[in-house]
């Protein structure tokens, strides 16, 4: 019951050579996965929703006449209305909420992406090293991961933010640096099991160099798991960033993020509920879409549960 | 079993030591100190204050002394709440945080497993898809978003429940514990559904059905226990999630627990208070994880013989 057992059989290089390198028309892992993903309506809906959100966040501020910092002196805490031109209303300081939600969305998505890449980099490097080296080194490396794993992470991130000031680049690094453990475990397990697979041995036996083995056989087989994991990590990271910003430790003025906006909205709950509802809806919709897409990708690329 | 439990216990000690060490040095290298204020203190007074709290020794000496103090369960005086010791502050907040966390955990287990089993029994029906979509929404709405929304609906809109505060009455516990429990209910429901479906397709269930047991017996006597195993192992992370969640939930509902001390303490550079909360929560999580592992090993013999 491992992921490899379900990947479509690959023609070994030796066979290709013997068959005069006649191209073998097989369905690759990715084509296969794409077919499965296309049938999953929830995942497609999630992907669609994400595209809509990304497009809105990217071009929204360009079409909107208001600035996210400069207040509209005539409209404080006004509800959404077409007449005033504030599509989502204004906050207590008279700033256009639509503009703020869009600008905040850029930051939230950016943090999600960059911090995930950081954790991806650390996790893959650590996990692949441990898995490839194996033996005692692997044992100790993974023991360290287990020890760190049992720690309450959020507390460390909060401490890191307090210690190093509330810098946006630090948010990337801090979140990424504590989020790499899962990635390291997954990549290590995958590398370890791949290393001893028959098709790797076959490739070696047919004279493939170490480099070819890694590039043609190990990396493509890691990619699926990594892709699934990335799509599930991004929403987690966005969540952590909003959590920090909600506490006032994350993104600072004049920049904003969905978490910071939810915090502001929660304080104006009674007088201006829209200033909570819009950022909350965007945050939830984004997480929702990522989670559905990630689930769909997992079913498509790693279909052992179905 | 004894062997296994001792082994696991031995691995908990380094984890705790890492936790204490990293937290200690992190908060110490933070710029600023506990006695900073708008007006700079005369150097003599600052030196006196530091001498009083023994902050003038080299950091390593302080660290070793702190480790010694912790062994005696002495977390020292708070730097910010001048007349309080950290022990007193934690003793005051802990019962409140415990009550809230325990209610949330019970709610999550009860509803999560029930919903999960129910969805598994209706697998691939409209009811199943609807439940799981709602569960996905539950996971996607973080508790600090859920909390103000609940306040908006039930406290401000309908006026059924108070919006915050804590006096031990049930009405004030309802909203915070639901806000804390909802994402977990959704998560547990998903885990339970997945494992229940897997169990229902396994051979021993087919055997149970084949020997003519009524479906009810099959579920209760054979399917339920293995299906709940993954939920048990989720309890460790769940406890951590509750503790983290308490930081925001206690703030939103102005609840005087220990979660609220953490962020404020870190911002005030209240070294001892932050360390006290970190260690307290850290020990709690490590102990809970340990217990969960023991229960798991007890329920699933494969684990203890593997190691």
Residues B59, B64, B69: CA angle, nearest 5 degrees: 120
Which chain A residues touch B12 with a CB distance below 8 Å? 150
Q: Residue A48: its pLDDT value, please?
A: 87
Give per-10-residue mean pLDDT for chain A (306 aa): 51 58 61 78 84 83 71 68 67 73 84 86 84 80 76 75 72 78 84 80 83 77 80 85 82 80 80 80 88 82 54
Among the residues of chain B, which ranges form H helices? 2-29, 43-52, 59-71, 86-121, 126-140, 143-150, 170-200, 203-210, 215-217, 224-252, 259-267, 271-299, 301-306
Q: Residue A4: its pLDDT value, please?
A: 46
Residue A96 DSSP symbol: B
Q: Residue A151 and residue B15: Cβ atoms within 8 Å?
A: yes
Structural domain includes residue A262: yes
> To 10 degrees, the CA torsion angle through B278, B280, B282, B287?
180
Residue B72 DSSP symbol: T
- What DSSP string runs through A151-179? S-HHHHHHHHHHHT-S-HHHHHHHHHHHS
Please indicate if any CB of chain B lies within 8 Å of the CB of A59: no
Reading the block at residue B89, the tokens are 């502050």
* Cβ burial, residue A73 (10 Å; 0-12/13-18/19+): exposed
Contacts 24+ apart (CB under 8 A), B33-41: B33/B269, B34/B79, B34/B80, B34/B268, B34/B269, B34/B270, B34/B271, B35/B79, B36/B269
Helix (H, G, I), strand (E, B), or coil: what is residue A207?
coil
Q: Residue B278 and residue A152: Cβ atoms within 8 Å?
A: yes
- In this complex, the residue of A156, A246, A287 whose CB is nearest that of residue B144 is A246
Which chain B residues touch A160 with a CB distance below 8 Å? 26
Query: Nearest-CA residue of chain B relative to A145?
Result: B15
- CA A102/CA B263 separation, integer angstroms: 28
Please indicate if any CB of chain B lies within 8 Å of the CB of A243: yes
Helix (H, G, I), strand (E, B), or coil: what is residue A61?
helix
Which chain B residues touch A146 with a CB distance below 8 Å? 11
Contact assessment for residue A284 and residue B137, using Cβ atoms and an 8 Å cutoff:
yes
Q: Residue B18 and residue A160: Cβ atoms within 8 Å?
A: no
- Check if the interface score ipTM surpasses 0.85: no
> Which residue reads 């790499």 in tokens?
A180
Q: Which of A43, A163, A240 to mutate to test the interface with B (most CBs of B within 10 A)?
A: A163
Query: Nearest-CA residue of chain A relative to B31?
Result: A163
Q: Residue B169: its pLDDT value, please?
A: 76
- CA B128/CA B262 separation, integer angstroms: 40
- CA A260/CA B139 separation, integer angstroms: 20
Query: Nearest-CA residue of chain B relative to A295?
Result: B136
Q: How far is B291 from chain A (nearest CA, A)?
A: 13
- CA B275/CA B258 separation, integer angstroms: 12
B206 contact partners, CB below 8 Å, separation of at least 6: none
Contact assessment for residue B200 and residue B274, using Cβ atoms and an 8 Å cutoff:
no
User: pTM value?
Assistant: 0.78
- In this complex, the residue of B144, B243, B274 whose CB is nearest that of residue A243 is B144
- In this complex, the residue of A146, A162, A305 whose CB is nearest that of residue B194 is A305
Please indicate if any CB of chain B lies within 8 Å of the CB of A266: yes
Distance of CA B211 to the CA centre of its chain: 43
Which one is predicted more confidently, B304 or B142?
A: B142
Which chain A residues touch B141 with a CB distance below 8 Å? 280, 284, 287
Task: Give the CATH number, domain containing residue A143.
Answer: 1.10.3720.10
For domain B93-258+288-299, the question of CATH label 1.10.3720.10 is answered with yes
Which chain B residues touch A294 with a CB distance below 8 Å? none
- CA B66/CA A170 separation, integer angstroms: 29
Structural domain includes residue A229: yes
- CA A186/CA A175 separation, integer angstroms: 18
Contact assessment for residue B77 and residue B272, using Cβ atoms and an 8 Å cutoff:
yes
Please indicate if any CB of chain B lies within 8 Å of the CB of A182: no
Residue B111 CB neighbours (<10 A): 17
Reading the block at residue A171, the tokens are 């948010």
Residue A89 DSSP symbol: -
Residue B71 DSSP symbol: H
- CA B152/CA A272 separation, integer angstroms: 11
- CA B115/CA B122 separation, integer angstroms: 11
Q: Residue B251 and residue A247: Cβ atoms within 8 Å?
A: yes
Please indicate if any CB of chain B lies within 8 Å of the CB of A146: yes
Structural domain includes residue A46: no
Please indicate if any CB of chain B lies within 8 Å of the CB of A162: yes
Residue of A6, A50, A221 lying closest to A131 (CA atoms)? A221
Q: Residue B140 and residue A284: Cβ atoms within 8 Å?
A: yes
- The range of the structural domain enclosing residue A239 comes to 88-301
- What DSSP string runs through B6-60? HHHHHHHHHHHHHHHHHHHHHHHHSSS-TT--SSPPPHHHHHHHHHHTT-SS-HH
**Mean pLDDT across chain B:** 81
Reading the block at residue B278, the tokens are 């970190």
- In this complex, the residue of B30, B136, B289 whose CB is nearest that of residue A150 is B289
Q: Residue A305: its pLDDT value, please?
A: 41
- CA B177/CA B193 separation, integer angstroms: 23
Distance of CA B248 to the CA centre of its chain: 12
Q: Residue B14 and residue A147: Cβ atoms within 8 Å?
A: yes
Residue of A204, A197, A194, A206 lying closest to A16 (CA atoms)? A206
Query: Nearest-CA residue of chain A relative to B271?
Result: A159
List C-alpha distances in Å: B293 to B6, B238, B283, B306: 12, 14, 15, 14
Query: Nearest-CA residue of chain B relative to A280?
Result: B145
Which chain B residues touch A154 with a CB distance below 8 Å? 244, 247
Q: Which helix (H) or strand (E) holds B258?
A: none
Please indicate if any CB of chain B lies within 8 Å of the CB of A276: yes
Residue of B210, B220, B259, B208 lying closest to B101 (CA atoms)? B259
Q: Residue A148 and residue B18: Cβ atoms within 8 Å?
A: yes
Which chain A residues touch B253 with a CB distance below 8 Å? none
- Structural domains of chain A, count: 1
Confidence band, pLDDT 50/70/90 cuts, at residue B111: very high
CB pairs under 8 A between A and B: 124
Contact assessment for residue A259 and residue A241, using Cβ atoms and an 8 Å cutoff:
yes
- Tens digits of per-residue pLDDT, B73-103? 777 777 777 788 888 888 888 888 888 888 9
Structural domain includes residue A12: no
Phi-psi region of B292 (alpha: psi -120 to 50; beta: other; left: phi over 0): alpha
Contact assessment for residue A296 and residue A43, using Cβ atoms and an 8 Å cutoff:
yes
Distance of CA A95 to the CA centre of its chain: 30
Q: Residue A159 and residue B26: Cβ atoms within 8 Å?
A: yes
Mean pLDDT of B222-233: 83
Contact assessment for residue B181 and residue B138, using Cβ atoms and an 8 Å cutoff:
no
- In this complex, the residue of B19, B156, B251 whose CB is nearest that of residue A151 is B19
- CA A306/CA A299 separation, integer angstroms: 7
- What DSSP string runs through B228-243? HHHHHHHHHHHHHHHH
- In this complex, the residue of B15, B18, B252 whose CB is nearest that of residue A266 is B252
Query: Nearest-CA residue of chain A relative to B251?
Result: A247
Contact assessment for residue A79 and residue A274, using Cβ atoms and an 8 Å cutoff:
yes
């Amino acid at each position: 019951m491992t992921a490899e057992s379900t990947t479509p059989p690959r023609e070994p290089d030796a066979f290709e050579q013997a068959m005069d390198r006649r191209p073998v028309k097989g369905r690759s892992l990715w084509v296969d996965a794409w077919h499965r993903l296309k049938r999953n309506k929830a995942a497609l809906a999630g992907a669609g929703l994400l595209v809509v959100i990304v497009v809105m966040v990217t071009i929204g501020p360009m079409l909107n006449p208001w600035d996210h910092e400069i207040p509209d002196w005539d409209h404080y805490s006004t509800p959404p209305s077409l007449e005033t031109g504030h599509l989502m209303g204004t906050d207590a300081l008279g700033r256009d909420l639509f503009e703020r939600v869009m600008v905040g969305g850029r930051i939230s998505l950016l943090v999600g992406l960059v911090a995930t890449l950081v954790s991806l980099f650390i996790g893959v490097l650590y996990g692949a090293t441990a898995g490839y080296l194996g033996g005692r080194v692997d044992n100790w490396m993974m023991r360290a991961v287990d020890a760190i794993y049992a720690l309450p992470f959020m507390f460390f991130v909060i401490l890191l933010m307090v210690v190093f000031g509330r810098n946006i680049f630090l948010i990337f690094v801090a979140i990424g640096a504590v989020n790499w453990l899962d990635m390291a475990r997954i990549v290590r397990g995958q590398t370890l099991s791949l290393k001893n697979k028959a098709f790797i041995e076959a490739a070696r036996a047919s004279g493939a160099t170490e480099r070819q083995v890694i590039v043609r056989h190990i990396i493509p087989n890691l990619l699926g798991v990594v892709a699934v994991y990335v799509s599930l990590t991004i929403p987690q990271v966005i969540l952590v960033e909003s959590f920090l910003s909600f506490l006032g430790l994350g993104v600072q003025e004049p920049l904003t993020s969905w978490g910071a906006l939810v915090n502001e909205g929660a304080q104006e709950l009674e007088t201006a509920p829209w200033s909570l509802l819009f950022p909350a809806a965007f945050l939830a919709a984004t997480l929702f879409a990522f989670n559905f897409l990630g689930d769909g990708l997992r079913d498509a690329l790693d279909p052992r549960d179905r | 079993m004894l062997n296994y439990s001792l082994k696991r216990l031995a691995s908990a000690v380094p984890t705790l030591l890492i936790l204490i060490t990293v937290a200690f040095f992190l908060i110490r290298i933070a710029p600023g100190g506990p006695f900073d204020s708008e007006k700079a203190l005369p150097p003599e007074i600052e030196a006196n204050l530091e001498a009083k709290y023994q902050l003038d020794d080299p950091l390593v000496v302080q660290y070793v002394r702190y480790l010694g103090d912790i062994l005696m369960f002495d977390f020292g005086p708070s730097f910010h709440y001048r007349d309080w010791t950290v022990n007193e502050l934690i003793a005051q907040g802990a019962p409140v945080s415990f009550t809230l966390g325990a209610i949330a955990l019970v709610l999550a287990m009860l509803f999560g497993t029930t919903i999960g089993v129910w969805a598994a029994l209706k697998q691939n029906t409209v009811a199943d898809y609807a439940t799981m979509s709602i569960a996905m929404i539950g996971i996607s709405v973080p508790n600090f978003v859920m909390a103000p929304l609940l306040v908006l609906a039930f406290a401000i809109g309908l006026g059924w429940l108070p919006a915050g505060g804590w006096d031990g009455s049930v009405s004030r516990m309802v909203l915070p514990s639901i806000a804390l429990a909802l994402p977990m209910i959704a998560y547990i429901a998903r885990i339970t559904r997945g494992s229940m479906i897997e169990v229902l397709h396994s051979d021993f269930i087919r055997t149970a059905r084949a020997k003519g047991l009524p479906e009810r017996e099959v579920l209760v006597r054979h399917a339920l226990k293995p299906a709940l195993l993954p939920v048990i192992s989720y309890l460790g992370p769940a406890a951590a999630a509750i503790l983290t969640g308490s930081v925001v939930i206690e703030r939103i509902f102005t609840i005087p627990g220990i979660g609220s001390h953490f962020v404020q303490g870190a911002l005030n550079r209240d070294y001892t208070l932050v360390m006290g909360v970190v260690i307290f929560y850290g020990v709690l999580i490590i102990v809970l994880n340990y217990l969960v592992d023991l229960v798991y090993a007890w329920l699933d013999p494969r684990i203890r013989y593997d190691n």
